[in-house]
């Protein structure tokens, strides 16, 4: 799951990531065509109002933002939860309203443009923390240690109990 800060950036990020996968020769890792629900996903896409979704889903990508019709958002949520989509590029509205399992969460930048301030401002710590999976909340002291890390007061990212790989 890749969180971006604008509706337009969901599409651009998905396209860029697919191009990067193509350049690296690893698009087979994203290919949804072998998934048992893939044919049903293609049938469901025929009713979608989003042209970009019909282009992205066969590549293993999807987008999700508040500007999409509810039916398209529900479809993306279902396809990602089922594992048909390998990557879902979305805005923060998904983080606040839907609980989807994700093997990894990427936040594309921690600043967004504030028209009130007339400049880019840092995301609030609660917004950043909310991107973590809810399962982490059951680990004693996890949120406090995560807050310390992101605020620069802690030196290591706390273990969420999930295996992660960094490159």
Domains of the chain, residue spans: 2-110
pLDDT of residue 117: 82
Give dist(CA 45, CA 76) in Å, integer. Answer: 10
pTM of the model: 0.69
pLDDT of residue 96: 60
pLDDT of residue 162: 39
Question: Which residues are CB-neighbours of 125 under 8 A, at least 6 positions away?
Answer: 147, 150, 151
pLDDT of residue 93: 73
Residue ranges in the chain modelled with pLDDT below 70: 95-99, 101, 103, 109-113, 123-167
Closest Cα to residue 57, out of 38, 71, 70? 38
Dump pLDDT digits (tens) for 18-47: 999 999 999 999 999 999 999 999 999 999
For 2-110, CATH gives 3.40.50.300
pLDDT of residue 91: 85
pLDDT of residue 131: 53
Closest Cα to residue 52, out of 12, 81, 79, 21? 12
């Amino acid at each position: 799951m890749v969180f971006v800060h604008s509706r337009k950036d969901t599409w651009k990020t998905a396209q860029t990531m697919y191009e990067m996968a193509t350049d690296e020769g690893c698009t087979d890792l994203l290919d949804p065509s072998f998934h048992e629900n893939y044919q049903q996903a293609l049938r469901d896409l025929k009713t979608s109002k989003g042209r970009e979704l019909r282009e992205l889903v066969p590549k293993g990508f999807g987008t999700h933002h508040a500007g999409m019709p509810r039916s398209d958002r529900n479809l993306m949520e279902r396809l990602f939860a089922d594992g048909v989509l390998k990557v879902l590029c979305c805005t923060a509205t998904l983080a606040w309203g839907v609980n989807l399992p994700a093997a990894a969460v990427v936040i594309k930048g921690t600043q967004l443009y504030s028209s009130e301030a007339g400049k880019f401002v840092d995301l609030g710590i609660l917004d950043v923390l909310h991107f973590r999976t809810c399962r982490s909340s059951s680990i004693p002291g996890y949120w406090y240690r995560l807050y310390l890390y992101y605020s620069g007061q802690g030196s290591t990212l706390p273990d969420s109990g999930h295996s992660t790989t960094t490159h």
